[in-house]
Structure 1
Amino acid sequence: MTQPYVNITTENGVGTIEFFHPAHNSLPGDILAKLAKTITEAGDNDDIKVIVLKSGGNRTFCAGASFKELININDAKTGKIFFSGFANVINAMRTCPKFIIGRVQGKTVGGGVGVASATDYCMATKFAAIKLSELNVGIGPFVVGPAVERKIGLSAMTQIAIDANFFYDAEWARDKGLFTKVFEDTEALDIAVKEFAEHLCTYNPEAMKDMKKAFWEGTEHWDTLLAERAIISGRLVLSDFTKETLKRFK
């Protein structure tokens, strides 16, 4: 696989959305926009009762936003647009009326942790270590922070946000509530995801829709909140500190 994509397939009431980018599934703005759109459309599709969200490849679930785009930000407007990419995906997941099952096969970083946190039920392999790396480059996980905090709590989110150079293993993420189950390998993960998704399709769709709304109660302001957070990150990426740091990474 060399070309980035967002695909959706439907089988037995399960809509499987898969995204991919050859750079360790680090996602540029156009792929993030397509992912948000695909999630919204799946939520409106009556043939889909449950959604599975996964990424292509075997090693990395999502390495966050595109570093190539990040280092080319030179003004606040572009910065806000860039950091709104994951905000729009998280909000699409939040407002989607269907349960979203996360399938995390490998490491996930930054915005990828936000996506995993925005799923309603997330399963992973033992290789699915997580890291919030934003502080390393002088920014901070402002956009994904609300989703991560909602899932694992303020104390755990603070820990991984400050300890920005360390990967926390899948068992830690399970203990904190991000992952519900951790499997030995991708094969076992895929079997469990398929069985669970198909079982959920036997439930009352109206009940699941109402439960989804109840689960996300209190987040109705996130359209505004995450946009404000994107502005903060867009400002920080223009700071002298971050610009110098990005030059070293480049």
Structure 2
Amino acid sequence: MVYQQIIAEVKENIFYITINREQKLNALNKEVLTELAHAIKFATQSDEIRGVLLTGAGEKAFVAGADISEFQNYSLAEGKELAKVGQTNVFDAIENCPKPVVAAINGFALGGGLELAMACHIRIASENAKLGLPEVTLGLIPGYGGTQRLTQLVGKGRAIEMITTADMITAEKAYRIGLVNEVVPQAELISKAEEILNKIKQRAPLAIASAIKAVNSSLKNNVNGFDIEIEEFAKCFQTEDFKEGVGAFLEKRKAVFKGE
């Protein structure tokens, strides 16, 4: 697929995805979501990719929200389909991706932009970032998992406050309440995300995928997370990576994992 709205490239086993609509503050439209869905599917299936770095073009915005003009006249059925398709193909796909996805939040992460960041496994924010879910100012609520993921990350009280007031918060406050993992100067944002991914690259890929699946299961009401953990733990024993990891430990050398 030839991308028009995003830039995607693999460098040293890291898949860089940049939403490239700087003049529109990288707002999400149908085309962006379609391309993101394709890119995440590619990352999921590629043996070469060990991690994903997701960011927005420029220094003003990660993603400033959804492109409101596309759905201003939608009916109930159309609104439901918009949320369902987006959640399934993009936001849930990111959350369930077996490769760690790090969001490098450069500037505004509002509405669908914050929902996109929350779907990622790790969030690093620049000091100038502003985060919020302003949907109620449009007579809407978050529709891409925002009510669920924000509550999981910061708790019910803070989630309801952020959503019902529609207030933006600073990167520093986002860090204090657990919405982002770290806050760094803008100039260090990408390098910090790369630092984390480069560390992850050295670990066993299949074990990382199992860990993501097990952690995600802790938040699902219809599954027993402890049972999933037991299953994923057991699966690790039949991998070549397990043999390599144990062998390297006993031989006091650095392990070389192949994802097998």
Corresponding residue for 1:12?
A: 12
Matches within 5 A, 1:215-230: 215-219=215-219
**In the alignment, what sits opposite 1:96?**
97
Q: Distance in 2 between matches of 1:221 and 1:32?
A: 27
Deviates more, 1:115-124 or 1:80-89: 80-89
- Give deviations 1:72-97, integer Å, cap 9, x for gaps: 32x23322233335413211112211
Distance in 1 (CA, whole Å) between partners of 2:24 and 2:82 is: 17
CA contact (8 A) 2:109 2:132 kept: yes
Q: Is the 8 A contact 1:86 1:111 kept in 2?
A: no
Query: Per-residue deviation at 1:195?
Result: 1.9
Deviation readout 1:14-66 (Å, 9 max, x if unpaired): 11111122311111112112212211211110000111111112101111211
Are residue 83 (structure 1) and residue 65 (structure 2) matched? no
* Counterpart Cα distance in 2 of 1:81 and 1:194: 35
Q: How many residues align?
A: 217
Shift of 1:219: 5.0
User: Structure 1 vs Structure 2: percent identity of aligned residues?
Assistant: 24
Counterpart check, 1:173 vs 2:174: yes
Deviation at 1:200, TM superposition (A): 1.1
Q: How does 1:24-173 map to 2 (within 5 A)?
A: 24-73=25-74, 75-84=75-84, 86-88=86-88, 89-143=90-144, 144-164=146-166, 166-173=167-174
Partners of 2:70 and 2:221 lie apart in 1 by 28
> CA–CA distance in 2 between the matches of 1:191 and 1:31?
25
For 1:153, the aligned partner's letter is G
Normalised by the length of structure 2, the TM-score is 0.78
Q: Following the alignment from structure 1 to structure 2, what is the Cα–Cα distance between the partners of residues 20 and 159?
A: 31
Mean CA deviation greater in 212-221 or 133-142: 212-221
In structure 1, how many angstroms separate the alpha carbons of the residues matched to 2:84 and 2:118? Answer: 17
Query: Larger radius of gyration, structure 1 or 2?
Result: 2
Structure 1 distance, partners of 2:221, 2:43, is: 23
CA distance in 2, matches of 1:86, 1:53: 17
**1-side partners of 2:85 and 2:69: how far apart?**
14
Give the TM-score normalised by structure 1: 0.81
2:99, 2:19 → 1: CA distance?
18
Tell me, yes or no, if the aligned pair for 1:125 and 1:184 is still in contact at 8 Å.
Answer: yes
Q: Is the 8 A contact 1:113 1:148 kept in 2?
A: no
Q: Which runs of 5+ in 1 are unaligned?
A: 223-250
Contact persistence 1:12–1:198 (CA under 8 A): no
The aligned counterpart of 1:203 is 203
Aligned counterparts of 1:44 and 1:85: Cα–Cα separation in 2? 20
Amino acid paired to 2:157: S
Contact 1:32/1:85 (<8 A) preserved: no
Query: 1:70: how far off?
Result: 2.5
Structure 1 residue 117 displacement after superposition: 1.0
CA distance in 2, matches of 1:50, 1:105: 19
The one-letter code sitting in structure 2 at the alignment partner of 1:42 is: A
Identify the residue that residue 241 of structure 1 maps to in structure 2.
Answer: none
Structure 2 residue runs without a partner (length 5+): 223-260
Point out which structure has higher relative CO (alpha carbons under 8 A, 6+ apart): 1
